[in-house]
């Protein structure tokens, strides 16, 4: 093996080791990459040559119109979370379904889907549902494992159902990889993959996950009724109040997703509409003077974290490419048994395993630039299908024991009777459900590609 490629492998191993040791992601990516660039230069195998492109790459990141949607979507989600719109919806939906066995669980899944489509932020959804629904489910006799697992899994729907910030980042990275793959094949007028394509492709798989979660809860209600009893005290629904609580997120979803899917607005323009809409909806619930400052501070923190990781990942990608790592990955994937299917399966397995130690953003920024160009050079791989497969796979990284961030969000707000063990055990069936969803998408790729094809001719 050439020395340069050996350094590329060692660089990836060093990044993973540093992340497992608890070092900050962005600083780890940048610091390790810089050290290996210098080491490669000293050993005479390259590494510094491509660093001259780093300033232009950073400038491109900060002026990217697509990535401008990220802070706007984050602002929208944080504003809705702080204004208690989500809380009203959870309480009223719980009253509507509470008279059914498993009704509170159904409410959590359905509200999780609505919040996902109106906020797009996993952490905010997990904290809100954990604070409101976990105590109610425990108070009415739910199995703590089922309660914790349902809340955690439903919160992660915000990662796959548009307008997810993860899909925005994945769409940008996948588009870069897709164009690089086409240029390498001699196509100098490459096609593009837009965030709108991924948004459209994610809708049916997202609804598939919602349906599978509900089927699991229905099965639990039938097979283990004591784990999810009916709540007679909440049986009387307040339909008027429910409609009023539903109106806000539904209108926002229609305004944001509808304008994107039908080509009326770009994701960035739609995100700005959503941010303004969130402000108007929040103004009905609480004085904006008290809301605006903490919302802006939280938005700034999350946005800075994402972009700092992206800049560190850009440096990592440049050094990895300078050391010949991209050619090595392409050869390795091309030589796997099973051809194209074997290569995709290997990448899916690697991303699933990395989810135990890295979150979705880290995997997107580190892994996708390495493997996606190689995969997209292979015949028969639809980039939208590949993106949705990656997105569903990455969703498991939010709930993987032991380091899934949603599990930590839930642990922080869960009542004392719910232990860490309850959370870890309770989430396992939902991780298996997500694997089932991946298998379904593998054999029925049209679930991810039919809607983008119908809307955009893909």
pLDDT at 27 over 80: yes
Tokens of 118: 């109106």
Tokens of 172: 């940008």
Secondary structure, 3-state, 247-261: HHHHHHHHHHHHHHH
Maximum average pLDDT range among 40-49, 165-174, 286-295, 323-332: 165-174
Exposure string (b/e) for 325-362, b if CB count within 10 Å is 16 or more? Answer: bbebbbeebeeeeeeeeebbebbbeebbebbebbbbbb
Q: Give the number of residues written for the chain.
A: 458
Q: Which residue has the tokens 């990592």?
A: 316
396 class by beta-carbon count within 10 Å (0-12 exposed, 13-18 middle, 19+ buried):
buried
pLDDT digits (tens, 9 = 90+) for 379-430: 888 999 999 999 999 888 778 776 677 877 787 778 888 888 888 889 999 9
Tell which wins on pLDDT, 65 or 86: 65
Q: Helices 368-376 and 288-322 sit at what angle, rounded to 10 degrees?
A: 60
- CA pair distance 451, 196, nearest whole angstrom: 11
User: What pLDDT is attached to residue 383?
Assistant: 92
In angstroms, the first-to-last Cα distance of the chain is 40
Tell me what the mean pLDDT of segment 422-448 comes to. 92
Q: Calculate what percentage of the chain has a pLDDT beyond 70.
A: 92
- CA pair distance 78, 348, nearest whole angstrom: 31
DSSP 278-306: HHHHHHTTS-HHHHHHHHHHHHHHHHHHH
DSSP 380-395: T--HHHHHHHHHHHHH
C-alpha angle 136-406-22 in degrees, rounded to nearest 5 = 145
H/E stretch holding 363 reads helix 360-366
H/E stretch holding 11 reads helix 3-20
Tokens of 89: 């919806």
Q: What Å distances lie between residue 392 and 349, 434, 442, CA to CA?
A: 12, 7, 11
Tokens of 81: 């979370």
Q: Residue 336 in 3-state DSSP?
A: coil
Q: Any residues with CB less than 8 A from the CB of 9 and at least 6 apart, and which? A: 325, 328
Q: Taken in order 382, 384, 385, 390, is the CA torsion positive or negative?
A: positive
- CA pair distance 254, 234, nearest whole angstrom: 30
User: What pLDDT is attached to residue 82?
Assistant: 75
Residue-range domain boundaries for the chain: 53-456
Tell which wins on pLDDT, 100 or 210: 210
User: What pLDDT is attached to residue 458?
Assistant: 59
- CA pair distance 109, 116, nearest whole angstrom: 10
Given pLDDT bands bounded at 50, 70 and 90, which one contains residue 29? confident
Q: Any residues with CB less than 8 A from the CB of 196 and at least 6 apart, and which? A: 260, 261, 263, 266, 267, 456
Given pLDDT bands bounded at 50, 70 and 90, which one contains residue 95? confident
- CA pair distance 278, 118, nearest whole angstrom: 9
pTM for the full predicted model = 0.82
Nearest to 163 by CA among 65, 249, 282, 284: 249
- CA pair distance 147, 104, nearest whole angstrom: 9
User: What pLDDT is attached to residue 215?
Assistant: 96
pLDDT digits (tens, 9 = 90+) for 237-254: 455 566 666 777 778 878
For the chain, give the mean pLDDT.
83
């Amino acid at each position: 093996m050439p020395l340069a490629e050996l350094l590329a492998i060692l660089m990836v191993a060093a990044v993973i080791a540093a992340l497992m040791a608890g070092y900050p992601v962005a600083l780890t990516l940048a610091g390790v990459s810089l050290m290996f660039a210098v080491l490669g230069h000293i050993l005479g195998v390259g590494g510094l040559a491509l660093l001259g492109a780093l300033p232009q790459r950073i400038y491109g990141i900060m002026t990217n119109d697509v990535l401008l949607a990220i802070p706007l979507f984050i602002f929208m989600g944080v504003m809705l979370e702080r204004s208690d719109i989500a809380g009203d919806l959870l309480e009223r939906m719980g009253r509507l379904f509470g008279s059914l066995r498993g009704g509170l669980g159904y409410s959590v899944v359905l509200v999780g889907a609505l919040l996902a489509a109106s906020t797009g932020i996993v952490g905010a959804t997990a904290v809100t549902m954990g604070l409101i629904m976990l105590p109610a489910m425990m108070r009415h006799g739910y199995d703590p494992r089922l309660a914790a697992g349902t809340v955690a899994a439903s919160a992660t729907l915000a990662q796959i159902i548009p307008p997810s910030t993860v899909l925005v980042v994945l769409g940008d990275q996948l588009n870069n990889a897709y164009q690089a793959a086409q240029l390498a094949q001699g196509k100098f007028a490459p096609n593009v993959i837009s965030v709108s394509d991924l948004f459209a492709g994610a809708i049916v798989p997202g609804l598939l996950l919602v349906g599978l979660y509900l089927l699991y809860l229905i099965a639990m209600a039938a097979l283990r009724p004591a784990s999810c009893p009916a709540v007679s005290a909440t049986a009387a629904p307040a339909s008027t109040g429910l409609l009023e609580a539903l109106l806000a997120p539904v209108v926002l979803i229609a305004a944001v997703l509808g304008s994107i899917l039908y080509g009326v607005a770009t994701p960035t323009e739609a995100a700005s509409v959503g941010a303004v809409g969130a402000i108007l909806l929040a103004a009905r619930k609480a004085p904006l003077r008290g809301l605006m400052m903490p919302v802006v501070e939280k938005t700034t923190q999350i946005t800075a974290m994402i972009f700092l990781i992206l800049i560190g990942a850009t440096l990592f990608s440049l050094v990895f490419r300078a050391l010949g790592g991209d050619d090595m990955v392409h050869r390795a994937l091309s030589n796997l048994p099973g051809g194209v299917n074997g290569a995709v399966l290997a990448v899916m397995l690697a991303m699933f395993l990395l989810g135990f130690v890295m979150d979705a953003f880290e995997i997107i920024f580190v892994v996708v630039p390495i493997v996606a160009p190689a995969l997209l050079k292979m015949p028969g791989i639809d980039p939208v299908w590949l993106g949705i497969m990656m997105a569903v796979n990455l969703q498991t990284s939010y709930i993987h024991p032991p380091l899934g961030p949603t599990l930590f969000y839930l642990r922080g707000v869960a009542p004392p009777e719910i232990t860490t063990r309850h959370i870890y055990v309770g989430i396992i069936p939902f991780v298996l459900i997500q694997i089932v969803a991946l298998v379904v998408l593998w054999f029925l790729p049209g679930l991810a590609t039919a809607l983008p094809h119908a809307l955009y001719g893909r």
